[in-house]
Structures are given as structure tokens and as C-alpha cells.
A and B are shown apart, each in its own frame.
Chain A
């Protein structure tokens, strides 16, 4: 099933265009080389020899540009319902499209949380009206994220939720998580977990270590995350259930997931661009707009462990944890500021700049991980093989730009990389067979 059929988006015309002379790279489908990428009625019709005679298609000069399978983000916050001053489905999905994404999964920690079948139906309807790319929704594991009672998981699945998560909060009670994992056998749906022991995190606001010692900020120890991962991996193993660990931040967590995978647990996990690019040294700025989030930026050794985890496959995918916040929630002292940063528009460009260009990570591997978030939620990964739905990110890998200089598609401006100079930019995105995004300054060829 294609993304447009599996997830919800605004209906529209299937794209009819040709990317002339694009450098095509899809490491999973095994496609590589310079082609005319022919898209008809929203489907990749063929990868033609450059210069082929084609009628009735919009011509796009893609010489020197790269066509990649578009990206999939299993962890975004669209803030709908209840916090539309931060983001909504329209702005959030546009932000994703601008980052080269063809699919996103929205978290359920809205106001109120998504805890009933009707909540899910309302969101899917809203996505069919306003989402510029295929969008999926999770519901909460526990009613109102209160950790006390399970939601009606089977009915919620029936309404079309992709899975469940109390993201923003951990499931404190092992008993409660166990019940959810047992119920998963009946209703399916991946359970995505925000792993944190609130007893250990306390009132922490950043990673516990030399930097928190120097700043006098309460620390969140790495073991707050890794001990919960170990607990939940053991529960998943016992119940033969399927879990997805969100936003890994610490070396100990990578070890815990590695051990669980080796033991055969059905576990997948994600890491965010900000955890892969920054360490807690950045917090010395005391700038909460860019550097306050949960889990916190950790040590350089943790960052290196995440990169290694991504490389070897312990970490399945990149997920932005795109978390928009209004300016006034961030223009306060660090300890008082809201947790979270935006990242959809910059994910690929930051990782390309910080990891691929210096030679730390192969481009092909990055592409694999940028769409690796589809499989854990049972979604077919985007492909450039002929016959596939058109889900394409057209990128100029040499383009240099400064984040935020031309504003954001997102409603919020709390980008962790605001002001950074990046190399590599998404010029155009096809998602669910439609043209979802074109960079304003990207001039287009004239229709043949």
C-alpha cells in the first residue's frame, strides 16, 4: 500500500513531471545513476536515459541535483488539537515537506491528549483537509497520559491510529506497560516509548555532567533513560511484544538496545539530528530556544555512541522530535523554558553537513536511516524503483544556506540550529504522489 493510501493527506492531482538529468540514489532499492526521473499521475513511471523525448510533462532541470527517496519521520509534534499557536497540521506538514519528508507520525500529547477513537478520527479528517504530505497519528497508551488506565486500544486502532505513545512522559508503572503490551496482541500497533525514570530525572533540566556542574543546573543522569529501556526491553521480551524506543540520547541506552536486539527482542529505536550533532557543551550558552529539550543534549562520548549506533543499525532511524514552541515559552531563563526544538526543515541538511561531509557517515547510510522510521510503524518505505508512488526529495548537495534567514515554514522558530550555515538543501519534495513543496528561489523549467 502506498503512503497516500496508508496515511492521510489533502487530496490533489498526481504529479506529472520529469526531473531531467537527476543523480538518483536509492540505496535500499539499489538504484543509482544519472536519469530522467519520469513521474506520471503521481507514480514513478520510469528512470529514463537522459534526453529522452517526453510529452506533456513539466520539465525540471535537475542536472547536478540529487533525487533521493523522500524521508519519513516517526516522531513529530503537530500540536493539534489545543496548541495551534505553536503549530498545526497544515504548518507542520508543510515544514516536513520543506525538509524533504513524505511521511510523518504525529504524537498524541496534545491538549487534550489523543485518547479516544473520535480524537483519532477528527485528526485524520483534519489531515485530509490540511496535510500537504501523508500524515499518521498515534494515540496515547494511557487515558489522558495519566498512567492509570489503558485507552480503548482496539477501537482506537479501528479508527486508524498507527500505534500508541505517551510521548512527553514515560509509562512509570511496569504493570501498566505490561498490560498494554499484552493487549497489543489483540489490536496490533507499535508502542513507542519515551524512556525516562522521573525519580532519577527529578527536576533536572540538562545532562548531568561537568557542564551541569559548572552551570549549577540540575542534571538528568544518563541512567534515567537507559534503566527504563532495559526494563521495557525485558517486558517486551517476556510478552513477545513490539516496542519502539524514542529519542535515544545516551551511550548506555545504545548499549541497552543493542543487547535487547541481540537477545531477539522486537525493538526498534530512533535518534534525533540534534543529539547526533550537538553535545551538552552547547548548553553553556544558556539559550533554551536552541538547546533545551528532553532528553537533553548529552556528552560528546554519548554523541559518538549514537553515531556508531546509527552506523551499525542498532539505531534504526533518524527522528526529529520536532517540538514547536511559542517565542514567549522560550524567552525565559533556561530552567523555566519549555522543552523541545524544531527540526523538520533542517534534519537532512544538518546531518549532511555535520556527519556526511566530514566523512563520518556515508550518504547512502544516512538516506537509509532518514526513511528507516517507516518500517517500525508497519509502513512501506519510500522507494525510487519504477512503479512506486512518487516520494522524492530533490536536493542540491552543494547549496549553502543559513537556517532561519528566510524564516520557517513551521509556525515556531525554536530551531536548534537557527543561524547555522548548512550545506545541502531540499529544493523540491514529492510526497504521496503530489508536489508537496518547492523552494521559492528554485526556478523551474518551462513545460515542454
Chain B
């Protein structure tokens, strides 16, 4: 892997390599000293043009656990705030000679542009409503620990599919791993033509019982003002996942943050079927694995200064 720009670019074997790598980092996470020297002396830039809690925090912690030097830039308060173009920002950042740039941006294709303007490996941490590949990978990792295989698994993605980069990346990722995907939501929030991505479209939860996994999406308040749905109450009536709709053998996921009482009822959030806490925990090890795969694995990449064995499946180093 040269960059991680979109799940669409990845083969199943590449996805599995990241997930396998993440398993080995999960083992590191159980040690007293959770840091490995893999990326010592290399710089990771985290460039967030949109607010984010879990994605930025887990990427930054992942870089630190790998002993990288971290430069963290938020749009507010930086030169970006003063009207600097993305291209110029990339030129400025290149002075730090970053090994990787992790970018979150409000518009589709921003990470791809940065990949063209920079020598660094680029990680798309969310580009507009396009893709959020690290989220999809951590969701796959979480699910794989519960279900031995996703082959043939029935997964429903429920809610505001139109405005969700998570929906898009996950749909593609679930399909790549052999799952059967259904998207479900109010008609105005299901993108026209989405079935050509290889999913089934449902406009009600009547057949939700067939799902092995229910992946709920966040419904933002402004969708109501834009008349995508008449009211949050009406949305909840038809599309909220609650204990009445969620069967005991079904798993529940959500990318967070949750609107309690809108897309999910309180009791299912705290139920044993909910994987939401595990999703957050997976975020760290999967993002460590992504940085490792981009910067330390693979024969064509220069090996790290510490001479880590490039193909070693378990990146277990000495505590830094």
C-alpha cells in the first residue's frame, strides 16, 4: 500500500493484511509499555480541516505508540484559517519531510490531491461525503472478532446514507469481505443509483430481522430543516433501532457520536449486542496497523532506521 485513500482501491488481501497486522498490535496493547520503536525518527502530520474527536485522537495516539514524531494541525488557528490553499499548505508541510500525512477534509478527493502534491504516504481520515476508509477497516476488525467470517453475513446499514462517508466506505468494505449489504432509510436520504454499488435498498425496517449485523448511522439535526425528513420524531418512529426491533442475536454498530433517542434508543446502546465500545478500541490498533503497513511494511518501502524486519508479521519491538 502506497496510500490509504479509499476502500475502493483495496483488494481483499490488502484489507486482510491490515486486519492481521492490527491483531498483533492488539497484543502490544496488553503490555505495560505500549510503545514500539518502529517509526522512530519519522514524522507523521495530522491535518484536520474538520472537527473530529475519535479519529484524530486515535490516529495521533497510534503515531505516538509507533514512536513517530507528530505534527498536529487543526484548520482553526492555523494558516489554513488565513485562506491558504490546500496545495500551498502541502508545500509548507513538505519542509518537515513527513513520512505520512493523515488528512480529514470537508470535500471529496482532498486526500487524493494531497497524494499528488506530496512525497508522503497519505491517509484519508474522511474526505467530504466520499470515503472514510480507516473507519471501515476498524469496523471490519471489530466484526471479525465476533464473527469468524463475513462471507455471507447479512449487514444492514440504516439511516442517512446520502450524507455518510462511513456508509459508502463500509458498504464497499463489507462487500469486499463477502457480506450481503442492505441500505435502509427514508427515500430522500438514499442516494439515487446506490444499488449499482451492489447493495439492496429497503425503505423500511420491516425485514430487519434478516440482518446479522445492524449498522446505524448518525442523523444530523439539519436534515430536518432541509426537508429530507419531516421531523426527528417521524424519523425515529420509522427508523430508530430499539429493543423492539433489534433481535437478541443481532449485532449493533454505530460510528459515533450517537444521537441518543434518534437513530438509536438508549437501551440498545448499552445492550450486550452493541459493539460501539469495541469499535473505539479497535480504532487505535487498526490505525497503528495502517501507519505500519504504509511506512514499515512491504519490500518497496525503505525500511525504518531501526532495521525492523520488513515482512515480520508481528511488529514486536523493544520498549522505546
Answer whether residue A334 sits at the interface, using C-beta atoms and an 8 A cutoff. yes
How many chain A residues touch the partner (CB < 8 A)?
21
Stretch at the interface among A163-171, A209-217, A229-237: A209-217
Question: Is B12 located at the chain interface by the 8 A CB criterion?
Answer: no
Tell me if A216 and B192 are in contact (CB < 8 A).
Answer: no
Cβ B110 vs Cβ A333 within 8 A = yes
Task: Tell me the bound Cα distance from A214 to B128 in angstroms.
Answer: 12
B194 near A213 with CB under 8 A, answer yes
**Contact assessment for A217 and B108 in the assembled complex, using a CB-CB cutoff below 8 Å:** yes
Find B197's partner among A213, A286, A328 (CB 8 Å cutoff).
A213
Q: Is A340 an interface residue (CB 8 A)?
A: no
| Cβ of B216 to closest chain A Cβ, rounded Å | 18
Q: How far is the CA of A333 from the CA of B116 in the complex (A)?
A: 12
A286 touches B112 (CB 8 A): yes
By the criterion CB–CB under 8 Å, are A216 and B129 in contact?
yes
Shortest Cβ distance from residue A339 to the other chain B in the assembled complex, whole angstroms: 15
Interface residues on B, range: 20 to 34
Knowing A333-B105, A335-B107 are in contact, say whether A213-B85 is a contact too (CB < 8 A).
no
Indicate whether A409 reaches chain B with its CB closer than 8 angstroms: no
**A210→B194 CA distance, assembly (Å):** 6
Chain B residues 96-130 with CB under 8 Å of chain A are 105, 107-110, 112-113, 127-130
Is the C-beta of A332 less than 8 angstroms from some C-beta in chain B? yes
A216 with B194: CB separation less than 8 A? no
With A and B bound together, what is the CA distance between A261 and B219 in angstroms? 46
> Given A217-B129, A217-B130, A286-B112, do A333 and B193 touch, yes or no (CB 8 Å)?
no
A332 close to B131 (CB less than 8 A): no
Cβ–Cβ contact A213 & B192, under 8 A: yes
Are B86 and A332 interface neighbours, CB within 8 A?
A: yes
Chain B residues, CB < 8 A from A382: none
Q: B196 within 8 Å of A by Cβ? A: yes
B197 nearest in chain A by CB position: A214
Chain B residues whose CB sits within 8 angstroms of the CB of A213 once the complex forms: 191-194, 196-197
Nearest chain B residue, comparing its CB with the CB of A205: B108
Minimum CB–CB distance from A209 to chain B (whole Å) comes to 5
A125 at the interface (CB under 8 A from B): no
Q: How far is the CB of A43 from chain B (nearest CB, A)?
A: 52
Residues of chain B within 8 A of A331, CB atoms compared: 85, 87, 113
A36 within 8 A of B: no
A59 CA to B31 CA, complexed, in Å: 88
B168 & A214 in contact (Cβ 8 Å cutoff): yes
Is there contact, CB below 8 Å, between A286 and B109? yes
In the complex, the answer to whether B128 meets A212 with C-beta atoms within 8 Å is no
Contact of A219 among B85, B109, B110, B192 (CB under 8 A): B192
A209, A221, A333, most chain B CB atoms within 10 A: A333
With A210-B193, A216-B128 as given contacts, are A333 and B108 in contact (CB-CB < 8 Å)? yes
Taking CB atoms, residues of chain B closer than 8 Å to A217 are 108, 128-130
Chain A contacts for B86, CB-based, 8 A = 332-333
Task: Let me know if B109 and A333 touch, CB within 8 A.
Answer: yes
Q: Is A321 an interface residue (CB 8 A)?
A: no
Q: Which residue of B lies closest to A336 (CB)?
A: B107
> B residues within 8 A CB of A389?
none
Which residues 326-354 in A have Cβ within 8 Å of B in the complex? 328, 331-336
Chain A proximity of B195: nearest CB distance (Å): 8
Q: Say yes or no: A328-B110 contact (C-beta < 8 A), given A216-B129, A217-B129.
A: no
Residue of B nearest to A216 (CB): B129
A:216-255 near B, CB below 8 Å: 216-219, 221
How close is B282's CB to chain A, nearest CB, in angstroms?
A: 23
B109 near A334 with CB under 8 A, answer yes
> Is residue A368 contacting chain B, with contact meaning CB distance below 8 A?
no
A173-220 residues with Cβ-Cβ distance < 8 A to B are 208-219
Which residues of B are found within 8 Å of A210, using beta-carbon distances? 192-194, 196-197
B64 within 8 A of A: no
Report the minimal beta-carbon distance from B48 to chain A, rounded to whole angstroms: 15
Chain B residue with the shortest CB-CB distance to A206: B108
Question: CB-CB < 8 A to A333: which residues of B?
Answer: 86, 105, 107-110, 113, 127-128
For the complex, is B165 an interface residue (Cβ under 8 Å from A)?
Answer: yes
> Which residues of B191-237 are within 8 A (CB) of A?
191-194, 196-197
Q: How far is the CA of A209 from the CA of B191 in the complex (A)?
A: 8
Chain B residues numbered 78-106 whose CB sits less than 8 Å from any CB in chain A: 85-87, 105
B168 with A332: CB separation less than 8 A: no
With the chains together, A216 CA to B111 CA distance in Å?
Answer: 14
Tell me if B192 and A208 are in contact (CB < 8 A). yes
Fill in one digit per residue for B171-199: 1 if any A CB lies within 8 Å of its CB, else 0.
00000000000000000000111101100
Residues of A within 8 A of B109 (CB): 286, 333-334
* B194 proximity list for chain A (CB < 8 A): 210, 213-214
Closest partner residue, chain B, to A331 (CB atom): B87
Q: Which residues of A contact B129 (CB under 8 A)?
A: 216-218
CB pair A216 B193 closer than 8 Å: no
Q: Name the residue on B nearest A327 (C-beta).
A: B87
Q: Quick check: A215 and B197 within 8 Å, CB to CB?
A: no
Q: With A and B bound together, what is the CA distance between A50 and B35 in angstroms?
A: 86
- Chain A residues with CB under 8 Å of B196's CB are 210, 213-214
25 CB-based A-B contacts, threshold 8 Å = A210-B193, A210-B196, A211-B193, A212-B191, A212-B192, A213-B191, A213-B194, A214-B196, A214-B197, A215-B108, A216-B128, A216-B129, A216-B165, A217-B128, A221-B192, A286-B112, A331-B85, A331-B113, A332-B113, A333-B105, A333-B128, A334-B109, A335-B107, A335-B128, A336-B107
Shortest Cβ-Cβ A-B pairs, 6 listed = A210-B193, A216-B129, A333-B107, A286-B109, A213-B191, A210-B196
Known A-B contacts: A214-B196, A333-B113. Give 11 more (CB < 8 A). Answer: A210-B192, A210-B194, A212-B192, A213-B192, A215-B108, A216-B108, A216-B128, A216-B168, A286-B112, A333-B107, A335-B107
